[in-house]
Amino acid sequence: MEQNPVIQIEELSKVYTVNEREAGLVAAMRSLVKRKTRDVNAVDAISFSVGEGEIVGFLGPNGAGKTTTLKMLSGLLHPTGGSATVLGFRPWERNRDYLRRMTLVMGQRNQLVWDIPVIDTFELNRAVYRIPEEQYRPVVEELTELLELEPLLRKPTRNLSLGERMKCEIAAALLHRPSVLFLDEPTIGLDVTMQRRIRRFITDYNQRTGATVILTSHYMADVEALCKRVIVIHHGKLLYDGELTGLADRFAPFKTVEVKLQNGLDGRPLAQYGELMAHSEGRITLRIPKVDTAAVTGRLLADLDVADLTVQDPPIEDVIEHVFSQSPSPLDAPDPQKIQSE
């Protein structure tokens, strides 16, 4: 899809073997002799590639395999099958040149040293990543300005609020100017203002450095603000890879029709057109199956005294919710050919 893929994944899989035991003493004793295990396909043969400078949203419900994939790409996990290269490196070989060019930010993990002031962790990272002094100073200044860190730098990490800590985490993870960023829930637990600031920062960083970003988030606002392209996985399988706007086309089985009437309803029943979602003075919102949209709009225009009519895709949040509420079987991984065309 991309001219210059920075991340290339082919049939990447990860199977975890987990121990299983029933409750109770007898089961506990039995497990001493014979352990029951079960294989869990956390990531199931997914393939995609990401080009230089792209910001890709990686979506899926809890347990879909997002974090497992990011951990494989950052070298923390060995895959069970398939291959992956990032910046030409195989991540799990943990080549130091690779580690110096990427970063993984996990919302709930901290790379800031708990007991020391934030600026001291920055200094430590400067040494570990061998950042030359002439590069370090401007980067710290820039990050301090963009993320408004000035009042926080001299405080020990343990005295920071969650949002403050997250900002400092992100800054600490970017001091070495990585060209690939894996951001796992970078805005989790933050208030709306802070979420917005971090979003703006990611866009800014991407534009200025041309870094490639894969981002997971439960907040659709993050994804809508940052990512043109999204990859959706569910139960470890890839469901969708394409533009965010195409997601509704592909998965939403209905459209939202908003009608403004000239003279009110005159007591006409609306159930015949579709599911009534909202109804206020002279304005109705209906949910109509996608296949019937053309016919129903025709009938609405013919039957009612319509002043204005708009047909829209449902909000992206509803689409995602719809996708995740499906079992994976009817939504098999799409044909790569099809992805190419999307």
- Binding track over 149-168 against another protein, x by CB under 8 A: -------x------------
| Dmax (CA) of the chain | 78
Helix (H) or strand (E) holding 104: strand 102-106
Residue of 69, 103, 157, 216 that binds another protein (CB under 8 A): 103
- Minimum distance of another protein from residue 103's CB (angstroms): 8
Q: Are 78 and 42 in contact (CB under 8 A)?
A: no
Give whichever of 34 and 130 is closer to another protein, judged by the CB atom: 130
Check binding of 126 to another protein (CB under 8 A): yes
Check binding of 208 to another protein (CB under 8 A): no
- Binding track over 7-46 against another protein, x by CB under 8 A: ---------x------------------------------
Beta bridge partners of 308: 260
Site size toward another protein, by CB under 8 A = 33
Check binding of 104 to another protein (CB under 8 A): yes
Check binding of 115 to another protein (CB under 8 A): yes
User: Can you tell me the distance from the alpha carbon of 188 to that of 163, in angstroms, rounded to the nearest whole number?
Assistant: 9
- SS3 of 122, please? helix
Helix (H) or strand (E) holding 139: helix 133-147
Residue type, 94: R
Residue 248 tokens, joined: 């509704």
**Where does this chain touch another protein (CB under 8 A) — which range of 29-37, 116-124, 231-239, 270-278?**
116-124
**Where does this chain touch another protein (CB under 8 A) — which range of 90-98, 142-150, 265-273, 280-288?**
90-98
Give whichever of 74 and 297 is closer to another protein, judged by the CB atom: 74
Residue 234 CB partners (closer than 8 Å, separation 6+): 60, 61, 64, 323, 324, 326, 328, 331
| Burial class of residue 340, CB neighbours in 10 A (0-12, 13-18, 19+) | exposed
Q: Positive or negative, the Cα torsion across 92, 120, 162, 159?
A: positive
- Minimum distance of another protein from residue 32's CB (angstroms): 14
**Contact positions toward another protein, by CB under 8 A?**
16, 68, 71, 74-78, 92, 94, 96-97, 99-100, 103-104, 106, 109-111, 113, 115-116, 120-121, 123-124, 126-130, 156
